[in-house]
A = this chain, B = another copy of it.
Amino acid sequence: LRDPDSIQGSLFAIGGREDRTRDKEVLRRFVALCGGADARLLVISTASRNPAPKVAEYEAAFRECGARKLVFAHPIDRRSARDSKLLEALDSATGVFFVGGNQLKLVTEIGGSELVRRLHVRHSAGLAVGGTSAGASALGAVMIARGKARSAARLSSLRMTPGFGLRSNLILDQHFRERDRFGRLLAAVLCNPTSLGLGLDEDTALLLEGDSRLSVMGKGSVTIVDGSKLEANDIGIVPEESPAAFVGMRLHVLTNGWSYDLAEGRVTRPVPVESGQE
């Protein structure tokens, strides 16, 4: 399940609604990943329809997490996504962060732009890239653009589009447990189990270091849907409103401190703390 491309940069995907005003544990980890006090962050708010309050909130939060150099950008078409100042900010950044909103707005407005093309190159060479909510969804090659909550795994429960494609082997979904999106993620993986499905809960982050080592931090869980061992699956032949049947899905749920090596399928768990219950 390792990405076929060899990628040096870390990916940091958050399931939305991360704490931005109190402990800011998850954002603090992202800033540390990007160099802490030496971080130079480029924050892109294209997913948002009304970016000003979000920009203000992230500016305060990232500063409180120790970042000192911040550039905010709101490109909304290919033209503004090849602006030379923006590209310079990308070239000198130690981390790029996509805020939330609407992932389809994000990829339709700047997908395939010069900004995203260069982002690929720099991520492959080692640049950390993060995003929350819609900004997390957009990072994979296949993106869940829309979909029904509280659904069985059925084709009609999701609409997929191409994402930015920073990772070719991951499908990222967010607000996962909170909005009951398990069915749509299952359906996405059933459609062609070349990708690993990752369901991110709110205030929870997935860190993928290089192209293999995945670890989880924050309040909730990351649900991993692995179709690589599927034995049977009828989503391609049943009516799209019908629930799909399948056999042999593997399922993992990781919480704060757990990690998983995609290449080796090996788990590392946090050192258990005895709770005193007997």
Query: How many copies of this protein are present in the complex?
Result: 2
| Contact, CB under 8 Å: B152 / A239 | no
B interface footprint on A176-213 (CB within 8 Å = 1, 0 otherwise): 01001011001000000000000001000000000000
Total interface residues in chain A, CB < 8 Å: 39
Per-residue CB contact flags for chain A residues 227-264 toward chain B (1 = under 8 Å, else 0) read 00001101001110011111111111111001010000
B250 touches A249 (CB 8 A): yes
**Chain B: which residue is nearest A249 at the CB level?**
B251
Cross-chain contact of A246 among B186, B232, B253 (Cβ < 8 A):
B253
- Which secondary structure dominates chain A's binding surface? loop
Tell whether, in the assembled complex, residue B152 and residue A232 are in contact, meaning their CB atoms are under 8 Å apart: no
The answer to whether A250 and B253 touch across the interface, beta carbons within 8 angstroms, is no
Does chain B have a CB within 8 A of A220? Answer: yes
Q: Which residues of B contact A239 (CB under 8 A)?
A: 275
Q: How far is the CA of A255 from the CA of B258 in the complex (A)?
A: 34
Among B150, B246, B275, the residue within 8 A (CB) of A180 is B150
Q: Does A37 contact B (CB under 8 A)?
A: no
- Of A249, A253, A269, most B-chain CB atoms within 10 Å: A253
In Å, the complex CA distance between A252 and B273 comes to 33
Output the least CB separation between A119 and chain B (Å). Answer: 32
- A274 closest partner in B (C-beta): B237
Given A242-B255, A243-B253, A247-B260: A269 in contact with B221 (beta carbons within 8 A): no
**Residue in B closest to A153 when the chains form the complex, CB atoms:** B253
Contact assessment for A232 and B274 in the assembled complex, using a CB-CB cutoff below 8 Å: no
Least CB distance from A234 to B in Å reads 7
A201 to B269, CA, bound (A): 34
Which residues of chain A have a CB within 8 Å of any CB of chain B? 150, 152-153, 177, 180, 182-183, 186, 201, 220-221, 231-232, 234, 237-239, 242-255, 258, 260, 267, 269, 272-275
22 contacts between A and B (CB under 8 A): A150-B180, A152-B201, A152-B220, A182-B182, A186-B253, A221-B243, A221-B245, A238-B275, A242-B255, A243-B255, A244-B253, A245-B253, A246-B252, A246-B253, A247-B252, A247-B260, A247-B267, A248-B250, A248-B252, A249-B252, A249-B253, A251-B251
Known: A180-B180, A245-B269. 5 other contacts (CB 8 A): A152-B253, A234-B272, A244-B253, A245-B254, A249-B251
